[in-house]
């Protein structure tokens, strides 16, 4: 028989302190409230005061600090500075024990909760949850903690679902809410509905007006900054994206598209743009309009036109990016002749005239000539106005009929759902009985390829539907402008030019073909 000698442990398993010694434990308190309301603020102050007194009342404890997070959700530990600072101090060996009210105060995410506690345990730091009376160094602590953390996470899921249901119920009822602190032009009225702020509404109208005068979005942002107009968030410098969001938000015409985005995961609070995964609701006339619907729709058309042109668009003049050379397809641009002399003048000439081996034969144009020929073309439209309006109505009706596209979209959605079910079924069958992997992969990849093809086709159909809608709106805007005028005009109007002209093609003979927004072309 071997001779066995037992060597007693000299240090505690978790704290590493010498066995038999009584040392004061360095203790930290953690307090958190999830909202910043007055009631919760009182609770927050009470928590801090309570744990300060609680820790100081123990002779064997030494207070390190009370770590706090105010008005922050407990779903994730990622954005909780007080919590993260406390963990860093514990891992650095400055804390022996963390005291907090309950598991739910610590984290409502089971993964975060357990992983953090295990890290702290490895570093010799224990946690005490007062409400549940759990010490994490206790042999039963981790089992109890897993159960309590799971219950806390389930509670968060339930709360999230209730909140989501409430939001979608409001959407279905057509109730509109806005982030008023970051939304220019509106404030919350006494009845809880959006109310126009006159001074801010004028700023919104200015942005739309500058855009329709041909200014680029960066140029508008620069002007607003230079004039000292604060952004919706109260900042001094305007971002291009802020101007674009104002120009493209349907709420400014008194309508509201609800549930543009949704929460993908209640734990991470990750948001995703709604691309048909959940219902959307479009409410017309939901609140007072700052911009007329006709102007708003025209701005959307112009935004789409400029995006299609890309870097080719220039907002230096009302004629920029609208006059096209019939020879090479390049835009006409302004050129200064005799810039330093008394005969100085600006002419418009093809930007690609001298590029390549053969120069364009299209002539240069003076602005007076462009304006004069535009008046002739527009007045020519007015001579046959009623027939033209009737043709436009027929064209608009045809464009608005997307029944064939809608039918194909619906069929593809049904096929996609079937394929999704088959793919899910294949995965489950392979998991239960993984015999022939090559056959499984071949079948699965074939389904995946078909699913990808359906996605591409759906993208094409949605794009087609959007293009038809844009063209229909363009014709509607053109009809509105045409119906407002019933007599010939004898002066050039910048706004009218921008409202009705799509582009002008210059021929080598000097003739100009004006293409109007409704698709009508007239050569002068």
pLDDT at position 373 is 93
Measured from the Cβ of residue 209, the count of other Cβ atoms closer than 10 Å reads 14
- Residue 496 buriedness (CB in 10 A; 0-12 / 13-18 / 19+): middle
List C-alpha distances in Å: 398 to 18, 234, 454: 88, 46, 26
Output 217 or 14, whichever has higher pLDDT. Answer: 217
The DSSP secondary-structure symbol of 18 reads: B
pTM of this prediction?
0.53
User: How many Å apart are CA 200 and CA 193, to the nearest integer?
Assistant: 17
> pLDDT tens-digit profile of 369-388?
999 999 998 888 888 777 77
Q: Is the pLDDT of residue 39 over 50?
A: no
> Which of these ranges, 50-59, 181-190, 240-249, 255-264, has the smallest mean pLDDT?
255-264
For domain 323-523, the question of CATH label 1.10.3720 is answered with no
What confidence score (pLDDT) does residue 8 get? Answer: 65
**Does position 205 have pLDDT exceeding 60, yes or no?**
yes
Contact 360, 345 (CB under 8 A): no
Closest CA to 450 of 440, 462, 458: 458
**Stretch(es) of the chain classified as CATH 3.40.50.1390:** 25-159
Of 133 and 106, which is predicted with more confidence? 133
The model's pLDDT over 229-255, given as tens digits with 9 standing for 90+, comes to 999 888 899 999 999 989 988 888 888
Q: How far apart are the C-alpha atoms of 212 and 182, rounded to whole Å?
A: 24
Q: What's the rounded mean pLDDT across residues 193-215?
A: 89
Instruction: Check residue 305 and give its pLDDT.
Output: 80
Parts of the chain belonging to CATH 1.10.287: 323-523
Give mean pLDDT, residues 38-55.
Answer: 72
Residue 373 CB coordination number (10 Å):
19
Q: What is the pLDDT of residues 289-315, one digit of tens each?
A: 898 888 888 888 888 888 877 766 777
Segment 429-454, tens digit of pLDDT: 766 675 667 777 788 788 888 888 88
| Local confidence band at 37 (pLDDT 50, 70, 90 cut-offs) | very low
In the predicted structure, residue 340 carries a pLDDT above the cut 50: yes
The pLDDT of residue 164 is 56
| 137/494 Cα distance (integer angstroms) | 78
Coil vs helix vs strand at 404: helix
What 3 state SS string does 405-434 have?
HHHHHHHHHHHHHHHHHHHHHHHHHHHHCC
Residue 516 — pLDDT band, cuts 50, 70, 90? confident
- Strand-pair category, 97-100 with 25-33: parallel
Give yes or no for a contact between 256 and 284, defined as CB atoms under 8 angstroms apart. no
For 132-147, what is the mean pLDDT? Answer: 74
Domain 180-261+281-311 in CATH 3.90.1750.20? The answer is yes
User: Between residues 214 and 78, which one has the greater pLDDT?
Assistant: 214
Q: Taking Cα atoms as reference points, which of 48, 54, 88 lies closest to residue 68?
A: 48
Instruction: List every span in the chain annotated with CATH 3.90.1750.20.
Output: 180-261+281-311
The dotted CATH code for 25-159 is 3.40.50.1390
C-beta of residue 236 within 8 angstroms of C-beta of residue 230? yes
pLDDT tops 70 at residue 7: no
Structure confidence at residue 41 (pLDDT) = 42
């Amino acid at each position: 028989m071997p001779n066995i000698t037992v060597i007693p442990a000299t240090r505690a398993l978790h704290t590493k302190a010498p066995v038999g010694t009584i040392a004061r434990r360095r203790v930290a308190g953690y307090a958190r409230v999830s909202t910043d309301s007055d009631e919760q603020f009182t609770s927050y102050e009470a928590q801090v005061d309570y744990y300060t007194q609680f820790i100081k009342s123990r002779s064997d404890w030494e207070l390190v600090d009370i770590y706090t997070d105010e008005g922050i959700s407990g779903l994730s530990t990622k954005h909780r500075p007080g919590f993260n600072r406390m963990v860093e101090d514990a891992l650095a060996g400055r804390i022996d024990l963390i005291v907090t009210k309950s598991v739910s105060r610590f984290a409502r995410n089971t993964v975060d909760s357990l992983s953090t506690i295990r890290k702290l345990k490895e570093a010799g730091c224990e946690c005490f949850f007062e409400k549940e009376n759990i010490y994490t160094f206790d042999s039963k602590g981790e089992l109890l903690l897993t159960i309590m953390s799971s219950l806390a996470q389930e509670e968060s899921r339930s709360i999230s679902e209730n909140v989501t249901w409430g939001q979608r119920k409001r959407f279905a009822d057509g109730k509109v809410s806005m982030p008023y602190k970051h939304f220019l032009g509106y404030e919350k009225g006494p009845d809880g509905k959006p109310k126009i702020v006159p001074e801010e509404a004028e700023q919104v109208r200015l942005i739309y007006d500058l855009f329709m005068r041909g200014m680029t979005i960066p140029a508008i942002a620069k002007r607003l900054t230079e004039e000292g107009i604060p952004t919706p968030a109260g900042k001094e410098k305007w971002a291009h994206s802020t101007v674009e969001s104002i120009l493209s938000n349907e709420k400014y015409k008194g309508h509201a598209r609800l549930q543009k985005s949704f929460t993908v995961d209640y734990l991470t609070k990750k948001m995703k743009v709604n691309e048909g995964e959940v219902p959307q609701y479009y409410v017309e006339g939901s609140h007072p309009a700052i911009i007329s619907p006709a102007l708003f729709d025209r701005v959307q058309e112009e935004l789409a036109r400029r995006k299609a042109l890309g870097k080719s668009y220039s907002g230096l003049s009302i004629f920029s990016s609208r006059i096209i050379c019939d020879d090479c397809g390049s835009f006409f641009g302004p050129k200064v002749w005799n810039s330093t002399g008394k005969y100085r003048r600006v002419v418009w000439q093809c930007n690609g005239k001298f590029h390549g081996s053969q120069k364009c034969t299209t002539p240069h144009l003076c602005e007076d000539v462009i304006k004069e020929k535009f008046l002739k073309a527009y007045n020519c439209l007015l001579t046959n106005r009623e027939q033209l309006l009737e043709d436009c109505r027929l064209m608009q009706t045809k464009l608005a009929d997307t029944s064939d596209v809608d039918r194909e979209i619906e069929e593809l959605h049904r096929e996609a759902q079937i394929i999704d079910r088959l793919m899910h079924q294949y995965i489950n069958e392979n998991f239960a009985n993984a015999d022939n992997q090559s056959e499984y992969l071949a079948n699965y990849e074939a389904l995946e390829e078909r699913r990808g093809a359906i996605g591409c086709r759906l993208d094409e159909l949605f794009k087609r539907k959007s293009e038809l809608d844009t063209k229909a709106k363009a014709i509607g805007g053109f009809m509105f402008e045409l119906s407002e005028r019933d007599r010939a005009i004898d002066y050039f109007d910048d706004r009218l030019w921008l409202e009705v002209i799509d582009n002008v093609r210059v021929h080598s003979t000097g003739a100009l073909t004006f293409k109007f927004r409704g698709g009508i072309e007239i050569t002068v």
